């Protein structure tokens, strides 16, 4: 297994946390406008997107396991 310097990891995680925190208000604004029109469709599309993201990460995880 490769080891990654702790300073590098902390910078990456800080950037990811900043992006997640910064994108949160944009999501609230977007869904605030969209949900009154069709909340069922919004939940359906969001759920499908989450399934695809999950499948993508599972696939990458298994490929990474096979390489190591």
For the chain, the domains span: 1-34, 36-68
Do 42 and 34 meet the contact criterion of CB atoms below 8 Å apart? yes
Alpha-helix runs per DSSP H in the chain: 6-34, 39-67
pLDDT in tens, 30-56: 889 988 888 899 899 999 999 999 999
Q: Is the model's pLDDT at 25 over the cut of 90? A: yes
11-15, 34-38, 59-63, 64-68: lowest mean pLDDT where?
Answer: 64-68
Q: Please state, in angstroms and rounded to a whole number, the distance separating the CA atoms of residues 46 and 37.
A: 15
């Amino acid at each position: 297994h490769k080891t990654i310097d702790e300073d590098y990891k902390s910078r990456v995680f800080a950037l990811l946390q900043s992006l997640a925190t910064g994108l949160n208000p944009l999501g609230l604004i977007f869904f605030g406008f969209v949900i009154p029109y069709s909340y069922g469709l919004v939940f359906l599309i969001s759920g499908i997107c989450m399934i695809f993201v999950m499948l993508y990460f599972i696939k990458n995880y298994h490929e990474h396991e096979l390489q190591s």
